[in-house]
Amino acid sequence: MGEVKVCRDCLAEKPASEFYAIKSGLDPVCKPCRRLAVKAYRLSKLDAIRAKDRARKPERAVLRQRSRSFRERHPGKTTEYTQRFKQKYPEKRAAQNAVYAAITAGTLKRPSTCEGCGGAVGILERPLQAHHDDYAKPLEVRWLCSGCHADADMARRRKAS
């Protein structure tokens, strides 16, 4: 069994993998508690953060232009990547398409909070993502924010290897 650490906020004993690495070692707060703290901070400083984001809009415009010029210089390259993905993972695409169709038809509803951390959509600033634990069951999804979704995918990859 690996290293165990106690979270400063929730006082729960958790494996070291549940703590972010920082310069001085491991964060004293576990990942779920840190995410909640960051979301609360962002909510309390929403106007300042949005102003900062607006100030970065020119940077995003530059990135969009770079992306556009790449597609012009290399026509078909992104389409080629998408086609390779579809061929390599047909079960993933089928599950994604089934979720999209169910949302469009109204048979599947996107909730307002992340099932992983409990963050609300307004705080997260992005819609929740459908996470498949099993692609054979395409409409059995967990609704996660992008951070929790990335964690769930990493956990699945670790489990598979």
Residue 11's CB is within 10 A of a number of other CB atoms, namely 9
pLDDT digits 0-9 by tens, 103-138: 999 999 988 888 888 777 765 567 889 999 999 999
Class of domain 1-41: alpha beta
Residue 31 pLDDT class (50, 70, 90 cuts): very high
Q: Is the dihedral of CA 74, 75, 76, 81 positive or negative?
A: positive
DSSP secondary structure letter of residue 115: T
Compute and round to an integer the Cα radius of gyration of the chain. Answer: 19
Greatest Cα pair distance, the chain, in angstroms, is 54
Write out the two tokens for 75.
Answer: 């026509």
129-132 vs 141-144, strand pairing mode: antiparallel
Angle at 149 between CA 132 and CA 127, to 5 degrees: 95
Average pLDDT of the chain to the nearest whole number:
88
Assess contact for 93 and 86: CB atoms under 8 A: yes
Assess contact for 141 and 130: CB atoms under 8 A: yes
Residue 26 pLDDT > 70, yes or no?
yes
